[in-house]
Structure 1
Amino acid sequence: MTTHPSRRRLLTRGAFLGGALAVPGFLAACSRTEAGTGAPAGDADLLERLRKQGHVRVGFAGEAPYGFQDGGTLAGEAPTLHREIFTALGVPELRPTLTEFGSLVPGLLAGRFDVVSAGMAITPERCAKVAFSEPEFVSPTALMVRRGNPKGLDDLASCAAGKVRVGVLTAAVEAAYAKAAGVPDGSVVTVAKQQDGLDALLAGRIDAFALTGISLRWLARTNRGAAVEVLEPFVPVVDGVKRYSPGGAVFRQGAVSLRRAFDERLAAITGDPARYVRLIGKYGFTEREVPPRTLRTAELCAG
């Protein structure tokens, strides 16, 4: 059986200055647009334009530990890696925009920002609309359940067999994973934010919350004392293919030079596990999350 690792999932309005996020007013979209798309014109020379203006506009959805606000600072896996990479590329400032996860790709295509910094899963469906960097991480799926695991669950197949209600984030790949495992559409409950999933679980509106293991461990960590537990991660299977949930930065398809330069700098980080963990270890990322060199976005996009 073919094994293709595949995953999901950043912003506020403001400016990154020396790693800190100020949160001033709304950032207007670029006025120069491609006819019929709303996207900025001239993406082919986007990297040079970013260098000249000294900042890049990034979109994020407030999902810890991938990209979130921490005391007015944009924090998490993706912003930390992207800050390192863009600084090396001569673009020292990240200007973030906070939006719902489901609005990240539409916002990128409409020119509201230049890159999505949210640890978004690389999937063939998304690849048809946007261009992904090479993977930044891999992270298998897990379930959060009420303490004691009263339904005796261990993966999405057990959720289907037990006819339980499964919570997933809006526009996240876990909905597709649940469907592939046999969970009926009527038993899949979408929530807007991670905290909503935990709250729904405690309130009895869902029996399990499906997300990447690293996200759920972070959620449990920030809700110490909550009567929940995170089960052992598992690898979903969709159409006979294992999905390890790799995520990456997202660009418009015309931003070829920017994406290639980004990938070159990213490879220098993922190729050095000690540096990788030094940068984002505080968000729960370990050498286990370092994407293997053989894992390529082109293959993931092909399905």
Structure 2
Amino acid sequence: MSEFPHLSRRGFLTRSAAVGGLITVPGLLTGCTKTGSGNGEGSKLEQLKKQGYVKVAYANEAPYGYEENGKLKGEAPTLHREIFKALGVPELKPTFSEWDGLIPGLQAGKYDVISAGMAILPERCAKALFSEPEFISPTAMMVKKGNPKHLTDLASAKKAGVTIGVMSGAVEKSYATGAGIPEAKIKTLQKPQDGADAVKGGRIDAFVLTGISLNWLAKTNPGVEVTHSFLPVLNGVKQYSPGGAVFRKGSEELRDAFNRELKKITSDPSRYVQLIGQYGFGKDTIPPADLKTATLCKG
């Protein structure tokens, strides 16, 4: 087994979209035609610099990449805009795609990069190139304001004998059972808002999800709070659930240039938080320096 597991909720569940505004981009919902790849990715980057934009795809999922009123917002577009600007490509031209169509659209040349917070999974690595991790997704729990059960992680939930909620089909259930929480104490919910409502209504004591998603959800749900994030352990291995940008096969030089600028951001916690802290990302979501895509792709 790899030292760094690759399981992520993005392998199990599509998150709901939210609203907001940040980066204004023309033609947000229009399709993109294929551009030539040049004679290598060195020339591809030069082509992008010359044309002044890069075509990116998003799946309309907050807080990762979504739009409202012609404005693109979220972790991935914000981070990628900063990186491409540093590479001399000042504009993102986005295309919306359903989640399952993101990689096929990339392979077909409809866009150059997937900017959607996609999890780095071996089966995806076989089809496309991933950047180094741009975030990890530690787990957290949503509880009533004041945290009356004094919960800190799954071990504390087991000890307290509380009832927790998890999303249907999501990996958090395996984390809970792996921590020894009985099936009878685990309730399945269909969408994030159901979890928040169940906490507020007292039907569960805690809703378990990524801290990123819960912090976003808490913004529109008074009366709850989110615990500090933690890394679940499954079969003795910490669960980091990392995500990154995605490029077409053959785009190694472009991907490597992207990685060099990404490292400058992930190596500077203040800059990282300044850029994407508004979306629920913080120092606890910065990938460890030794967490490498090459390892994650091996599975």
TM (normalized to structure 2)?
Answer: 0.73
Summarize the Cα distance change of 1:197–1:23 in structure 2 as closer, same or farther, 3 Å threshold.
farther
Alpha-carbon contact 1:121-1:173 (below 8 Å) kept: no
Q: Give unpaired runs (5+ residues) of structure 2.
A: none
Summarize the Cα distance change of 1:273–1:235 in structure 2 as closer, same or farther, 3 Å threshold.
closer
| Superposition deviation, residue 249 in structure 1 | 0.9
| Superposition deviation, residue 259 in structure 1 | 0.3
Q: Which residue of 2 aligns with 1:166?
A: 166
Summarize the Cα distance change of 1:153–1:275 in structure 2 as closer, same or farther, 3 Å threshold.
closer
Q: Which residue of 2 aligns with 1:277?
A: 273
Aligned counterpart for 2:25 among listed residues 21, 24, 28: 21
Return the letter of the residue paired with 1:295. Answer: L
What is the DSSP-based 3-state SS (H/G/I as helix, E as strand, rest coil) of the residue aligned with 1:22? coil
Aligned counterpart for 2:257 among listed residues 258, 261, 277: 261
Return the letter of the residue paired with 1:4. Answer: F
What is the DSSP-based 3-state SS (H/G/I as helix, E as strand, rest coil) of the residue aligned with 1:120? strand
Residues of 1 paired with 2:270 and 2:129: CA distance?
A: 28
Alpha-carbon contact 1:164-1:206 (below 8 Å) kept: yes
| Superposition deviation, residue 256 in structure 1 | 0.6
Q: Which residue of 2 aligns with 1:57?
A: 55
The 10-residue stretch of structure 1 (287-296 or 247-256) with the greater mean CA deviation from structure 2: 287-296
Q: 1:247 aligned to 2:243?
A: yes
| Superposition deviation, residue 260 in structure 1 | 0.3
Aligned counterpart for 2:75 among listed residues 74, 77, 94: 77
| Superposition deviation, residue 252 in structure 1 | 1.8
| Superposition deviation, residue 210 in structure 1 | 4.6
Alignment of 1:30-179 (within 5 A): 30=34, 44=41, 45-69=43-67, 72-144=70-142, 166-167=166-167
Q: Which residue of 2 aligns with 1:215?
A: 213
Residues of 1 paired with 2:163 and 2:39: CA distance?
A: 51
| Superposition deviation, residue 121 in structure 1 | 1.9
Structure 1 stretches (4+) deviating beyond 6 angstroms? 40-43, 145-159, 161-165, 178-184, 199-208
Summarize the Cα distance change of 1:101–1:267 in structure 2 as closer, same or farther, 3 Å threshold.
same
Summarize the Cα distance change of 1:301–1:232 in structure 2 as closer, same or farther, 3 Å threshold.
same
Q: Say how many residue pairs are matched.
A: 283
Residues of 1 paired with 2:176 and 2:99: CA distance?
A: 19
Q: Which residue of 1 aligns with 2:4?
A: 4
Give percent identity, aligned residues only: 55
Alpha-carbon contact 1:133-1:263 (below 8 Å) kept: yes
| Superposition deviation, residue 230 in structure 1 | 3.7
Alpha-carbon contact 2:164-2:207 (below 8 Å) kept: no
Alpha-carbon contact 1:166-1:207 (below 8 Å) kept: no
Return the letter of the residue paired with 1:167. Answer: M
Q: 1:235 aligned to 2:239?
A: no
What is the DSSP-based 3-state SS (H/G/I as helix, E as strand, rest coil) of the residue aligned with 1:285? coil
Q: 1:297 aligned to 2:287?
A: no
| Superposition deviation, residue 228 in structure 1 | 5.1
| Superposition deviation, residue 165 in structure 1 | 6.5
Residues of 2 paired with 1:65 and 1:174: CA distance?
A: 19
Residues of 2 paired with 1:270 and 1:297: CA distance?
A: 14
TM (normalized to structure 1)?
Answer: 0.72
Residues of 2 paired with 1:99 and 1:79: CA distance?
A: 14
Summarize the Cα distance change of 1:181–1:27 in structure 2 as closer, same or farther, 3 Å threshold.
farther
Summarize the Cα distance change of 1:277–1:200 in structure 2 as closer, same or farther, 3 Å threshold.
same
| Superposition deviation, residue 56 in structure 1 | 1.1
